[in-house]
């Protein structure tokens, strides 16, 4: 099993490249007929090394990586929204060659543990309903669908999923 840990500043380029690779792969396999290319391009632009570096500087953000043999194979990030007790998972991605091996689950457990340690009572995320592997992962780690959002982003339907954390 890979090591799950906080992202280091020296890894922002590799984390950005990995995120972009996963996004492109996911779009080709699951989203192409649903999620507009323009939306993908916007999402890719948000995962720049500069944005990862800025996120690392922000204490309310969390950024974790999965590493195996000195190679990043997974990345996740999000934000704890002040003292509200709410955290939002922004992104999770695992290199296509390493998917379905428990890495996403390990990353999610790290996020849950971090949010619990910061006093969060809830974590929420948004995902496309067509991303069945992602939806299944979220269900396995305790998230439930909280809302179905019709034509939410780029005119596409989204699921809002949440997990409530015990103190």
The model's pLDDT over 108-163, given as tens digits with 9 standing for 90+, comes to 999 999 999 999 999 999 999 999 999 999 999 999 999 999 999 999 999 999 99
For each of the domains in the chain, give its residue range(s) and CATH number, in order of start.
Answer: 3-125 (3.40.630.30)
Helices (H), the chain: 12-26, 37-46, 49-57, 103-117, 132-140
User: Any idea what DSSP says for residue 7?
Assistant: P
The model's pLDDT over 46-86, given as tens digits with 9 standing for 90+, comes to 999 999 999 999 999 999 999 999 999 999 999 999 899 99
How far apart are alpha carbons 102 and 138 in whole angstroms? Answer: 12
């Amino acid at each position: 099993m890979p090591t799950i840990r906080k992202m280091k500043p020296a890894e922002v380029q590799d984390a950005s490249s990995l995120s972009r690779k996963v996004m492109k792969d996911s779009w080709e396999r699951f989203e192409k007929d649903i999620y507009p290319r323009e939306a993908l391009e916007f999402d890719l632009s948000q995962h720049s090394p500069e944005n990862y570096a800025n996120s690392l500087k922000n204490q309310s953000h969390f950024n974790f990586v999965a590493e195996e043999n000195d190679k990043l194979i997974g990345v996740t990030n999000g934000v704890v929204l002040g003292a509200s007790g709410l955290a939002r998972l922004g992104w999770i991605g695992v290199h296509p060659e390493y998917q379905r091996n428990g890495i996403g689950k390990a990353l999610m457990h790290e996020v849950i543990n971090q949010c619990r340690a910061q006093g969060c009572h809830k974590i929420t995320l948004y995902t496309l309903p067509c991303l069945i592997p992602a939806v299944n992962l979220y269900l396995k780690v305790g998230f439930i669908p909280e809302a179905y959002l019709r034509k939410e982003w780029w005119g596409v339907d989204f699921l809002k999923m949440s997990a409530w954390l015990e103190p």
